[in-house]
Amino acid sequence: MARITGGEVLKRVLEKEGVRYVFGVPGDQLYPFLNALYDSNIKFVTFHHEANAAHAADAWARITGELGVVVATVGPGAANLIGGVYCITGDGAFSMGIAELETAKRLGLQITFVVLNDSAWGMIKAGQTLYYEKRYIGVDFGEIRYDLIAKAMGCYGESIEDPKEIRGALERAKLSGFPAVLDIKIDREVIPPDFQTLAMIWLEGCEPPPKIIKKEELSVVK
């Protein structure tokens, strides 16, 4: 099995989406990604402060209509991004740290969490779809309204089912003045793009399961 880094995966995904520029402040955790950019047409634009990089990415997206991408290291680097970016996360990952909404409210941190809600451990479920003929074990959740949990903790919350509602919801979240959670319902059956590449990383050093559903049988995000 060919060895591939997470930085290389990220580069390939960004290239596929037509990204031309990535903004940020270099740091140790970013080296695998920066190394992957060496032979890419994507240009890395260096800043001295993460907040400036975040606003530059935002401006680029607004002016060009392209994706505005910003990266930062963990800790202070990520903290400096708070004023300029949104946190996009799956419902499984978000639920593990949902208590920190109280922290964000108490400290006055106006962070907007965009929760992609498929009521499942989506990446694990995709693996069970691909390799185990949809024999699902321990991956499905009940129906959870993360926006209502946010409201109960003194934050702003909104549930979204129509993609056309997302832009307005983001604006309302920003104007609320509070930490915000946008609970976006997504298709439970769609396999994430480039999932098989990610699976190669998870299974590094292991033999993949013998049964793989044929490509034409999959419903894959375009």
pLDDT tens for residues 129-147?
A: 777 777 888 888 888 999 9
Residue 16 has pLDDT above 80, yes or no: yes
Tell me which CATH homologous superfamily contains domain 86-215: Thiamin diphosphate (ThDP)-binding fold, Pyr/PP domains (3.40.50.970)
Residues spanned by CATH 3.40.50.970 within the chain? 1-84, 86-215
For the stretch 173-217, pLDDT in tens is 989 989 999 999 988 777 766 676 666 666 665 565 655 555 555
- Flag whether pLDDT at 222 surpasses 50: no
According to DSSP, the residues that pair with 120 across neighbouring strands are: 140
Residue 220 confidence (pLDDT) above 60: no
Q: Which CATH architecture has domain 1-84?
A: 3-Layer(aba) Sandwich (3.40)
* Residue written as token pair 């999932």: 195
Reported pTM: 0.62
Place of tokens 């996360």: 89
Work out the mean pLDDT of the chain and round it to a whole number.
Answer: 82
Q: Please determine, for residue 87, whether its predicted confidence score (pLDDT) is greater than 70.
A: yes
Average pLDDT over residues 104-132: 84
Segment (H or E) for 217: none
